[in-house]
């Protein structure tokens, strides 16, 4: 689709052991990218790495906690040492801890913000240090519809994803002079473990599939250097439009 050729490109995908991150990583590898898979669970990313390699693609798996400054620095130091460059960063790692705000523990709020927003900040910072030197690159942040709207029992998750959108907008303006593009994808309900837990009221058959988000990433990367897209909102077909 889109005639995308990523042969020789180096891509890092956070949270790529399952769900949306896995689908994005597999798509990138199918188009020729060398993919660095990263997540906190080694068994998951090793399984994805094997799947990609069995299909003829190229991938390595590196465990990293995106909330840890030292772990993120070590991850990108590995990328610099092994590949000498970075073309694509997909900030997908995310977690949602839900419940009424009046009853939410402060540590659950902090954990939600740490993975979604601090992780995006730390990974983007490291990636930019490589991309600025190369005068090019693409950072794609996987946000959520809750980065635009608020929902009951999702205050922490919504605050974190609104923060991701703020980072995205500022980075897009800050890095334009270096030829770096920064975009956000904001999907509605996607059939992932987190959505099934947080929104049991949704009909699973009507949810988006992780591949729908991967296709949006594919589209962004297929654009010519003349074009840049700030954000893509993917709505479930049966949900209400804005």
Would you name the residues annotated as active-site residues? 157
Place of tokens 């987190």: 194
**∠ Cα 122 113 212 (to 5°):** 80
**Token digits of residue 135:** 């005068």
Measured distance CA(177)–CA(101) in Å, rounded: 41
Which region holds residue 23: left if phi is over 0, alpha if psi is between -120 and 50, else beta? Answer: alpha
Interatomic CA distance for residues 39 and 82, integer angstroms: 18
Residue at token pair 């959108």: 165
How far, in Å, CA of 24 to CA of 215, rounded? 8
Q: Which residues contact 71 (CB under 8 A, 6 or more apart)?
A: 64, 65
In angstroms, rounded to a whole number, what is the distance separating the alpha carbons of residues 155 and 157? 6
* Cα–Cα distance measured from residue 59 to residue 3, given in angstroms and rounded to the nearest whole number: 21
Determine the 3-state secondary structure of 106 from DSSP.
Answer: helix
Give the dihedral sign, CA 167/170/174/175.
positive
Q: Are 160 and 117 in contact (CB under 8 A)?
A: yes
Does residue 15 sit in helix, strand or coil? coil
């Amino acid at each position: 689709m889109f005639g995308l050729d990523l042969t020789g490109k180096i891509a890092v995908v956070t949270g790529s052991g399952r769900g949306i991150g896995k689908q994005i990583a597999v798509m990138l590898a199918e188009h020729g990218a060398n993919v660095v898979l990263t997540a906190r669970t080694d068994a998951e990313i090793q399984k994805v790495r094997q799947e990609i390699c069995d299909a003829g693609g190229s991938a390595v798996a590196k465990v990293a906690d995106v909330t840890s400054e030292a772990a993120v620095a070590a991850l990108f130091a590995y990328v610099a040492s092994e590949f000498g460059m970075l073309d694509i960063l997909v900030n997908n790692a995310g977690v949602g801890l839900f419940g009424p705000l009046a009853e939410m523990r402060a540590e659950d709020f902090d954990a939600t913000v740490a993975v979604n927003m601090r992780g995006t900040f730390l990974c983007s910072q490291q990636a930019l240090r490589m991309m600025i030197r190369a005068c090019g690159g693409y950072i794609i942040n996987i946000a959520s519809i809750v980065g635009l709207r608020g929902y009951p029992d999702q205050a922490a998750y919504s605050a974190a994803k609104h923060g991701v959108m703020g980072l995205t907008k500022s980075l897009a303006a800050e890095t334009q002079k270096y030829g770096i593009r920064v975009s956000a994808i904001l999907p509605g309900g996607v059939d992932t473990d987190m959505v099934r837990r947080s929104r049991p009221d949704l009909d699973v058959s009507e949810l988006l599939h992780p591949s729908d988000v991967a296709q949006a990433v594919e589209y962004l990367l297929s654009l010519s250097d003349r074009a840049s897209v700030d954000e893509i909102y993917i709505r479930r077909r049966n949900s209400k439009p804005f």
